[in-house]
Amino acid sequence: MSDVLTHDLVILGAGLAGLRAAVEASRVTNGDIDIAVITKGQMMRAHSVAAEGGTAAALRLDDGDSYELHAWDTLKGSDFLADQDVIDRFVHAMPGEIMQMDHWGIPWSRREDGKIAQRPFGGHSYPRAVMAADKTGFFELQTLYDTLLKYKNATHYNEFYVTSILTEGGQFRGLTVFNMTTGEYKVIHGKALIIAAGGAGTLFGFTTYSRTVTGDGMAMAYRAGLPLEDIEFLQFHPTGLVPSGILITEACRGEGGYLLNNKGERFMEKYAPERKELAPRDLISRSEITEIEAGRGFKGPNGLDYLHLDLRHLGADTINERLPLIREVCIEFNDLDPIVEPIPIRPVAHYAMGGIETDIDGATRIKGIWVAGEAACVSLHGANRLGSNSTAECLVWGGITGGEAGRYCKETTEIQSVPQDAVDAEEKRLYNDLLNRDGKEDLYELRRKLRSCMDQYVGVYRTGEDLSKALEIIKKLKVRYNDIKIADKSRTYNTNLIDALELCNLLDLAEIMVTGALKRTESRGAHARRDHKIRDDVNWLKHTLAFYEKEGPRLDYKPVNITMWKPVERKY
């Protein structure tokens, strides 16, 4: 019999969305509900710390910006796939989030007059990215963590790996977990769950993501019966450091950096004559691949041909004040000082626009489950996210879901029992089946093959032929996964077992992504098909929904919510 730990609200994930939700749930209930915050890593080690450039908000309504302009930029950036009621709520909420973070003590960068500074960002027609130098995510996470410590009602579960979501009768009942430090199997029982477990970018080999970001929340929700929405839309950031893939923030271009080909040309003038280096990410990434394929790139290691990001003309003072982390990263990882040398970059897997389907409040089809942050698809970003809107989304819907779930827990007096059959079956799956596997397949080789497949066939540009090859490879890898070997049979800090669980999640998500991409016969935002080059609003102005079936995802669709603007041609 497993140990049962009981809380009112369970939050899966300790990044920006998760901590913002915990703070808000504590605030609206005056600290009267019992909250569990679960992370498979350590607090303050969430991938949110890697966010660098800024957080978008229309702060200066008296100086050229407006809610409507932020909404239009976000919608146009999404290639008109975002839900417009969601965008409207988002842009109106964000200034309050910036001021709330300010009151909680975040060290926002300031102008000379003492007001909060903002910098330009790609796709935004006004400089609305609020920042803390180029370490914005780190300082936001630290501020939320410090604020949560003021409340005494949150228990932090560090290094607890969640393996399944328990539901019964269409309602949340709990989670099955194991303590990574001891291997003990437990049930965390609760009234409500907020999934804030992040994205799935480690599907790819060349990626900005931390290795812990393996789509666990998405995959578990999918297997629990929740549909995943728009998973085929995966953003490639234009400036990943070669060869590591470390993010080189868009703030570099917001501060005036240039993208150069091997002829020394600012090539974005050809592709986006108005915005140039500050066009949306999908457009710049396609332009970069076009330049590289035309022979105007530099030869890189392992096929990672690259272009240059040039900051030299900005001068040492600007780089040291506004981009200190980028300089440090370049020196540490490439032995290169951007004050005197250009930075080698190319498009890199960066962000999931899709996620677990939610309504505008972050609620799902299962009572008592909400989702926030990158794990969710509320659909704010549609087919392409604008830079600096992601940390903003985490703050807004972290706050919304925390408030909604907190009030729900306060009003719900009884915690329903967990389905014991499901608890026992999961324990058997982990310790009798998976842990005892002694097959011939090396799971790390399978993981390498998966990432190589995604890099090669599901990249910035896609074709039906490539996607079909990818799907065939993924299906074969899923079969081979059934014959893996778990060499470590212990329960204490068994990273071998954890890697196997993560690979299972990644294989499911890869299958969904490629199935959806193969079906979507158009080019829209980050989904660029060479064999279907035009955006097709007649047939494809709709969201993809993927439902779990044993034989593979079942796809369905739902309409985009259009309340303000009809789709038009997208030019920059």
DSSP-assigned letters across all residues of 130-169: E-STT-HHHHHHHHHHHHHTT-S-EEEEETEEEEEEEEET
pLDDT at 456: 97
Report how far apart, in Å, the C-alpha atoms of 233 and of each of 305, 385, 460 are.
Answer: 24, 10, 10
What's the fold here for domain 420-536?
Answer: Methane Monooxygenase Hydroxylase; Chain G, domain 1 (1.20.58)
* Cα angle 185, 5, 499; round to 5: 35
Rg (CA), the chain: 23
Q: CA distances (Å), 66 to each of 69, 79, 88, 144, 151, in order?
A: 5, 20, 12, 27, 35
Task: Parse the chain into domains and list their residue ranges.
Answer: 3-233+353-411, 238-348, 420-536
Measured distance CA(381)–CA(53) in Å, rounded: 18
d(CA 506, CA 248): 25
Q: Which amino acid is at 240?
A: G
Q: What is the dihedral of CA 432, 434, 435, 440, to 10 degrees?
A: 120
List Cα–Cα distances, 221 to 22, 49, 378, in angstroms. 20, 25, 15
Q: What sign does the CA torsion over 53, 58, 63, 68 have? A: positive
Terminal Cα distance for the chain, rounded: 60
Q: Which CATH class is domain 3-233+353-411?
A: alpha beta
Sign of CA dihedral 282, 346, 212, 106: negative
Alpha helices in 428-494, H assignment, sequence order:
443-457, 464-481
Six-digit token pair at 6? Answer: 């009981």
Strand ordering across the sheet containing 554-559 = 376-377, 355-357, 228-229, 542-547, 554-559
How many CB atoms are closer than 10 A to CB 27? 16
* Helix H or strand E encompassing 77: helix 67-77
Residues 77 and 49 sit within 8 Å (Cβ to Cβ): no
Q: Is 552 exposed, middle or buried (0-12, 13-18, 19+ CB in 10 A)?
A: middle
Looking at residue 413, what is its pLDDT?
A: 87
Q: Averaged in consecutive runs of 10 residues, what is the pLDDT profile of the chain (572 residues)?
A: 88 98 97 96 90 94 95 98 98 98 97 95 96 94 96 96 97 96 95 97 94 96 98 97 96 96 97 96 98 98 96 97 95 97 98 97 98 98 97 98 97 90 95 95 97 98 98 98 96 95 98 98 98 98 97 97 96 92
Centroid of chain to Cα 410 = 30
At residue 123, the pLDDT reads: 95
- For residue 238, is the peptide bond before it cis, meaning its omega torsion is within 30 degrees of 0? no
User: Is position 237 annotated as part of the catalytic site?
Assistant: yes
C-alpha span between 192 and 194 (Å, rounded): 7
Catalytic option among 7, 89, 173, 237? 237
Rounded Cα–Cα distance for residues 298 and 292 (Å):
8
Distance CA 183, CA 177 (A): 9
Residues 6+ positions from 249 with CB-CB distance below 8 Å: 52, 53, 134, 239, 323, 325, 326
Task: Mention the CATH class of domain 238-348.
Answer: alpha beta
Please give the pLDDT value at position 416: 87
Q: What is the SS3 assignment for 504-531?
A: HHHHHHHHHHHHHHHHCCCCECCEEECC
pLDDT value, residue 399: 98
Question: Which is the catalytic residue, given 253, 451, 491, 535?
Answer: 253
- With CA atoms as reference, report the closest residue to 245 among 281, 280, 207, 278: 207
| CA–CA separation, 345 and 392 (whole Å) | 26
- Pairwise CA distance, residues 572 & 567, whole Å: 15
Cα 328–333–338 angle (5° rounding)? 50
CA angle (516, 517, 522) in 5-degree steps? 120
* Residue recorded with tokens 């899923």: 478
Helices 136-148 and 390-411 meet at what angle, rounded to 10? 20
